[in-house]
Amino acid sequence: MPLRHRPARHRRHAALTGLIALATAGVVALSAAPQAAAADTWTEVGSDRADPLTESQGLTSVEVPAGSPNHYTGIGTIPIGVSSRGWNHVGDPDASYNGYYVEPYQRDSGGAKMFRVQAPGGGWSEYVHTLGSGEAMNNSWVAISPDGQWMLSGEYGTMTRFLVFPTPGVNAATSPSANLPQVSTVNLDHPVRDVQGCDFSTPTQLLCSSDDPAGTLFGVTKPLLQVDLSGQANGTSDVSGHVTALRQLPLRSSCSGTFEAEGIDYDRRTGTLRVIVVSPGFCVLTDSKTYRFTRS
């Protein structure tokens, strides 16, 4: 597990302030590169600029209450009271269908992860999970099962599993005053690398964004993945997951360099899939995008 990734990422986030200052001083962005064509059943239908401070880590659609805006995470969305206690990285969030919203947090050291939960009424609470034997400290994303009772989470690096927890705040077995336990595992039939987000498209299917820079696992870098489960993930037994690479995520920018695939959201109300891709270099400020896809 290459834990060096996250500190480097913190340095990148810290550099955003300087880049923004440079942009406001009058540096002009170059014109956008030509659009690449989609190559599979998920067809790109549009994109929106992703703000590098507040929309660069993850996103989720929120169904309850009706009319709720989409939620995004980024370094600029971390409350000072949270970051001051060492929780300085937020990942890709998710929301349950009954209105609970969950953000995954990690810190640079220590033996725990934290999940910050907002109840439908607006109140916040924190649930801490003590790392198990061999568990990586990274807390890249969460995906809440359609029934709301179970939450999947992922580690960074090359992995062959996802972790399953009772959904904090929703599952009656959880409490902010008690350790949030891992209750089961999704065992993948193919390794995945640097998964930055997953979301349920059905009770037994996940769509995931991978920041894989090498392309050796599926023959393509930065793939959109589909994981088909052998059964519904829950706290009673492990399930297996069949992994398929569907396509490469869009990598278009006025700047050359390394892109970063980030969080993902599937909005079941509209059938729209959205994925954040952060642009390289200075263009992190100007043409990072949240891409929208529909199944054709």
pLDDT tens for each residue of 160-187: 999 999 999 999 999 999 999 999 999 9
| Separation of CA 290 from chain center | 12
b/e code 104-135 from CB counts within 10 Å (16+ = b): bbbbeeeebbbbbbbebeeeeebbbbeeeeeb
Residues 6+ apart with CB under 8 A from 234: 145, 149, 150, 164, 183, 184
Provide the token pair at 285.
């400020």
Please give the Cα distance from 294 to 296 (Å, whole number). Answer: 6
Give the mean model confidence (pLDDT) for residues 125-130: 98
Which domain does 270 fall in, by range? 5-25+41-295
Q: Which letter does DSSP use for residue 250 in this model?
A: P
Name the token pair of 14: 């810290």
Whether 31 is covered by a domain: the verdict is no
Q: Which phi and psi angles does 29 have, rounded to 5°?
A: -70, 150
- Let me know how long the chain is: 296
Per-residue confidence band for 217, with pLDDT thresholds at 50, 70 and 90: very high
Q: Where are the alpha helices (DSSP H) in 214-271?
A: none
Provide the β-strand partners of residue 236.
none
Residue 102 within a domain: yes
Quick: pLDDT tens for 149-160.
Answer: 999 999 999 999
- Flag whether 13 is in a domain: yes
Q: Quick check: 28 pLDDT over 50?
A: no
Check: CB of residue 116 under 8 Å from CB of residue 134: no
Strand partners, 276: 290
Residue 35 lies in a domain: no
Please state, in angstroms and rounded to a whole number, the distance separating the CA atoms of residues 173 and 251. 42
pLDDT in tens, 31-46: 333 333 333 489 999 9
**Per-residue pLDDT band at 296 (split at 50, 70, 90):** confident
**What confidence score (pLDDT) does residue 65 get?**
86
pLDDT at 66: 86
- Residue 33 falls inside a structural domain: no
Q: What mean pLDDT is predicted for residues 80-92? A: 98
User: In whole angstroms, what separates CA 261 from the centre of its chain?
Assistant: 9
Q: What is the pLDDT of residue 241?
A: 98
- Number of separate domains in the chain: 1
Q: Decide if 100 contacts 120 (C-beta within 8 A).
A: yes
Q: What is the mean pLDDT of residues 69-73?
A: 96
Q: What is the tens place of the pLDDT at every residue in 236-285?
A: 999 999 999 999 999 999 999 999 999 999 999 999 999 999 999 999 99
Cross-strand bridge partners of residue 48: 290
Mean pLDDT across the chain: 89
pLDDT of 218-237, one tens digit each? 999 999 999 999 999 999 99
Query: Lowest-confidence range among 16-25, 82-91, 99-108, 171-180?
Result: 16-25
CATH number (domain holding residue 223): 2.120.10
pLDDT at site 120? 93
Model pTM score? 0.88
* Contact partners, residue 216, CB within 8 Å, separation at least 6: none
Output the pLDDT for position 150: 98
